[in-house]
A and B are shown apart, each in its own frame.
Chain A
């Protein structure tokens, strides 16, 4: 290695995918200054100023020569401020402030402040993942990001409060300024919607059952009920019923949060609860899909491996409801913008809540509703057929009865229900071993019908509904799917006629 070329590595993030980038710095004759080449965007080019100031404020004099920095491969776009640390280290290696070969096998991530301190950046976790995948042994990150980087197994993490510490860890000899390390900004994670426990839900036997079935089979759920019936409360209980995230799922979900800047590393590992997102109904389609700028994600992706709850679903903008189709279909959001294209994972369980009509009173006492039939029809029509096609369970929720409220019996808590759900999921894993799907909700109807070999007597009510035309074939398959989940919850390998009838109850919209 030539004495005047310094080399480090960094990761260029594009969506969740990271490409290893080699940073080369070379000191040559010419007027003093730093040039950065290799497809940097503005935020990367700006790092010249930060690096210059940070290095000089650490008491290091750069040679009065031209410094050229090359980021290769030059065909990959580099976005963001996380390249500062790698570029600064490469420059100092080129200028002879680090031993030859220092930093080999390490990936550098971090933004420099003018005083040389390292500021936390977004996307540290996907960078660390990409580093492991590319065979790097370690990762130098800002101290405020080190807990996050440590979530990735198989990577040595070097957390540094400022550039001087990082350099000294690489064999440099730099006086470390007495500055407190930069702490993470108060995490946006704090503003996540609250999740609940089924213990707090009184009555609502049907709805509790529907929620349990939805959790067990991964079925999307629509709840229709008057305002105040408890739809929001119930939806908030769903994450507590779902199994904890597996290693792979947790890494995906956390990496997305890392890009979003809402990852709370301290809480992430012990909890492993599936994400829960409850966007407001005025949220725009762009905010839901994400990617208005490179390196941003939307609500759909934030809900990846978790629950997306859309309260007042018909009030969402039409574009938002249409945008739901792609993630529901493929579990991804493909984003095509002027700045480029990216595909973000977005596989979530959807829970929709809706009032029965615009005024919300049509399920109450006769005559309380002030909506015209036209209003009501338009309101229902906003949830389009193709969308509802994918929502297995569609449930009418009646207002709570006084008897339920005053019954002294305590409600079953989420943990007990979650145990049944976990058992049902195990059954599904056995049933679908070797298949490309893992849950009843994802299984093709034909496959299920064939494997269950239901008898004529068992399917008779369904067949009759099919004949009458009140049930479509797609609806028929949906009922078989729900019945399978009900059987799983009951610890039986195949549904029987009773399960089919119970499933029909969860499809009140269709079969009634």
Chain B
């Protein structure tokens, strides 16, 4: 399985995972000049921008370790861009990161809420 397919499958899995938690997924792979948001969802009244990082093994480290300060800054910028692009006003938002370790069998999810 190639990296892109793995990433795609990881995002699909994340979609199901979040929906199972009762979140509404509002958008997937939303793009603009600054980059791409994997999943935009609504958790109650809060808009959550979700970055999904999937890896097939720990050889290159845990998927969450790939999310550094720079990536987080980009995600926040994208979040603001998405919010301004919406017709209605949302009072609250945050950025979550889903690290998925998918080494055959069942995927293993680590969900970091409000990543700083």
Cβ of B65 and Cβ of A30 under 8 Å apart? no
Cα A29 to Cα B112 with chains together (Å): 7
The reply to whether the CB of A134 lies closer than 8 angstroms to some CB of chain B is: no
Cβ of A30 and Cβ of B110 under 8 Å apart? no
The reply to whether the CB of B116 lies closer than 8 angstroms to some CB of chain A is: yes
Cβ of A30 and Cβ of B116 under 8 Å apart? yes
- Across the interface, name the chain B residue whose C-beta is closest to A64: B62
Cβ of B58 and Cβ of A32 under 8 Å apart? no
Pick the most buried of A31, A32, A64: most chain B CB atoms within 10 A of its CB.
A31
The reply to whether the CB of A173 lies closer than 8 angstroms to some CB of chain B is: no
Cα A61 to Cα B64 with chains together (Å): 13
* Binary flags per residue of B90-116, CB closer than 8 Å to A gives 1, else 0: 000000010100000000001011011
Within the complex, the shortest CB–CB distance from A65 to chain B, in Å, comes to 8
How many residues of chain A get a CB closer than 8 Å to chain B's CBs? 7
User: A33 contacts which chain B residues (CB < 8 A)?
Assistant: 65
Cα A32 to Cα B112 with chains together (Å): 10
Cβ of A31 and Cβ of B64 under 8 Å apart? yes
User: B65 contacts which chain A residues (CB < 8 A)?
Assistant: 32-33, 64
Given contacts A61-B58, A64-B62, A64-B65, contact A30 B99 (CB under 8 A): no
Cα A30 to Cα B112 with chains together (Å): 6
The reply to whether the CB of B25 lies closer than 8 angstroms to some CB of chain A is: no
Q: Which of A31, A32, A61 contacts B116 (CB 8 A)?
A: A31
The reply to whether the CB of B67 lies closer than 8 angstroms to some CB of chain A is: yes
* Binary flags per residue of B43-69, CB closer than 8 Å to A gives 1, else 0: 000000000000000100011110100
User: A61 contacts which chain B residues (CB < 8 A)?
Assistant: 58
Within the complex, the shortest CB–CB distance from B45 to chain A, in Å, comes to 22
Cβ of A31 and Cβ of B62 under 8 Å apart? no
- Across the interface, name the chain B residue whose C-beta is closest to A56: B61
User: A29 contacts which chain B residues (CB < 8 A)?
Assistant: 112-113
Cβ of B58 and Cβ of A31 under 8 Å apart? no
User: B67 contacts which chain A residues (CB < 8 A)?
Assistant: 31
Cα A31 to Cα B114 with chains together (Å): 10
- Across the interface, name the chain A residue whose C-beta is closest to B116: A30
- Across the interface, name the chain A residue whose C-beta is closest to B101: A64
- Across the interface, name the chain B residue whose C-beta is closest to A62: B62
User: A64 contacts which chain B residues (CB < 8 A)?
Assistant: 62-65, 99, 110
Cα A64 to Cα B55 with chains together (Å): 13
Q: Which of A13-59 contact B (CB under 8 A)?
A: 29-33
Cβ of B62 and Cβ of A30 under 8 Å apart? no
Cα A326 to Cα B103 with chains together (Å): 70
Within the complex, the shortest CB–CB distance from A59 to chain B, in Å, comes to 12
- Across the interface, name the chain A residue whose C-beta is closest to B63: A64
Cα A29 to Cα B67 with chains together (Å): 14
User: B112 contacts which chain A residues (CB < 8 A)?
Assistant: 29-31
- Across the interface, name the chain A residue whose C-beta is closest to B67: A31
User: A30 contacts which chain B residues (CB < 8 A)?
Assistant: 112, 115-116
* Binary flags per residue of B71-96, CB closer than 8 Å to A gives 1, else 0: 01000000000000000000000000
Q: Which of B17-34 contact A (CB under 8 A)?
A: none
Within the complex, the shortest CB–CB distance from B82 to chain A, in Å, comes to 21
Within the complex, the shortest CB–CB distance from A45 to chain B, in Å, comes to 14
Cα A31 to Cα B115 with chains together (Å): 6
Cα A30 to Cα B65 with chains together (Å): 11
Beyond contacts A31-B72, A32-B64, A64-B63: 7 other A-B pairs, Cβ-Cβ < 8 A, are A29-B112, A30-B116, A31-B64, A31-B67, A31-B112, A61-B58, A64-B99
Which 3 pairs across A and B sit closest by C-beta, in order of nearness? Answer: A64-B62, A32-B65, A64-B64
